[in-house]
Structure 1
Amino acid sequence: MLGLYGAKDDSIPQDTVETMRQALRAANATAEIVVYPHADHAFNADYRASYHEESAKDGWQRMLAWFAQYGGKRG
């Protein structure tokens, strides 16, 4: 599971993200959670005011790498 979150996203509190991170670790799940400190909700949606280019580009690269490593198609 790859989770990409904006730290400024009020709809997903950071304590909830941390709880999920701990649960995934406890389950020994293959997972990575990244929190972007300057990003808000839907930071990757370039048609919204919340778009954060740096976070979106990094998240896109991480997503491609995740799919390449864990079996998704790239492209």
Structure 2
Amino acid sequence: MALQRSAVITFMKVRWRILAVRSVLGLVFAVILGWIFFPEASGGRIAVLALLLVFSAYVLEALRAQRK
């Protein structure tokens, strides 16, 4: 039982780390894309773009897993 619990905790730590990396990369690429395509974009527009990038990463991951 302890081994299973440890495996679940490790799995959740990995998932949180993946979310953190995707969030940081989503924000970085949102700033770059906003700077290129929307020079006068506000912080809200950049945040929405970052959320869309992270969301699309999870959607594409789900589609890829479904195809396998």
Given the two structures, how large is their TM-score scaled by the length of structure 1?
0.32
Higher strand share: 1
Higher helix share: 2
Given the two structures, how large is their TM-score scaled by the length of structure 2?
0.35
Larger radius of gyration: 2
